[in-house]
Amino acid sequence: MTIWLIYAFSNVKNIKKLNDQELQGRNKSSWHDQYKDSAWIFIGGLPYDLTEGDVIAIFSQYGEVVNINLIRDKDTGKQKGYGFLCYEDQRSTILAVDNFNGIKILGRVIRVDHVSNYKAPKDSKKIDDETRNLWKEGCAPKKD
């Protein structure tokens, strides 16, 4: 087993443990609260043949997806098995983390976790204005 795989399974178990503690009332507030300013999630362990559309179709069960960044090999363009997804509403991230973390998709256990400070990829000429604006401004709830 590779070190990454051990790390990924450990994180899946840790998130499940936090959720169990919350359900039993051991925590005064939700562990999700520290991510209330970010609508981004990390998704790892994805099958390599999934497209952005496939991932959006799966993750849209818990909210409107407004942006996705599947990490790809620069030379081949093949998906590397992980990426980032942004929801329109931050509350959707809680549902996605709680319900998708540790499930199997096409035989692979995926890891889903919050992202507190998403850093957009370096500017590219290939992205449209709307995506560039989302990367610049983010898609977390606006503070009043």
DSSP 15-57: HHHHHHHHHTT-SSS-GGGGGTT--EEEEES--TT--HHHHHH
Residues of the domain holding 58: 37-77+118-135
Flag whether 18 is in a domain: no
Flag whether 23 is in a domain: no
- Read off the pLDDT of each residue in 24-36 and give the average, rounded to a whole number: 69
How many independent structural domains does the chain possess? 1
> What pLDDT score was predicted for residue 62?
95
Which of 21-25, 57-61, 94-98 shows the lowest per-residue confidence on average (mean pLDDT)? 21-25
Flag whether 143 is in a domain: no
Residue 111 has pLDDT above 70, yes or no: yes
Pair 110, 43: CB distance under 8 Å: yes
Q: How far is CA 51 from CA 4, 72, 77, 79, 100, in A?
A: 23, 11, 12, 8, 17
Residue 134 has pLDDT above 70, yes or no: no
More confident residue, 103 or 121: 103
What's the token pair of residue 105?
Answer: 């998709």
Flag whether 9 is in a domain: no
* Each residue's pLDDT tens digit, 6-22: 545 566 666 666 666 55
Flag whether 29 is in a domain: no
- Read off the pLDDT of each residue in 86-109 and give the average, rounded to a whole number: 94
Flag whether 71 is in a domain: yes
> What pLDDT score was predicted for residue 5?
44
Flag whether 70 is in a domain: yes
* Each residue's pLDDT tens digit, 39-51: 999 999 999 999 9
Q: How far is CA 46 from CA 15, 52, 55, 125, in A?
A: 18, 11, 9, 27
Query: Which residue type is seen at 53?
Result: G
pTM of the model: 0.70
Flag whether 42 is in a domain: yes
Residue 70 has pLDDT above 50, yes or no: yes
pLDDT band of residue 1 (cuts 50, 70, 90) is: very low
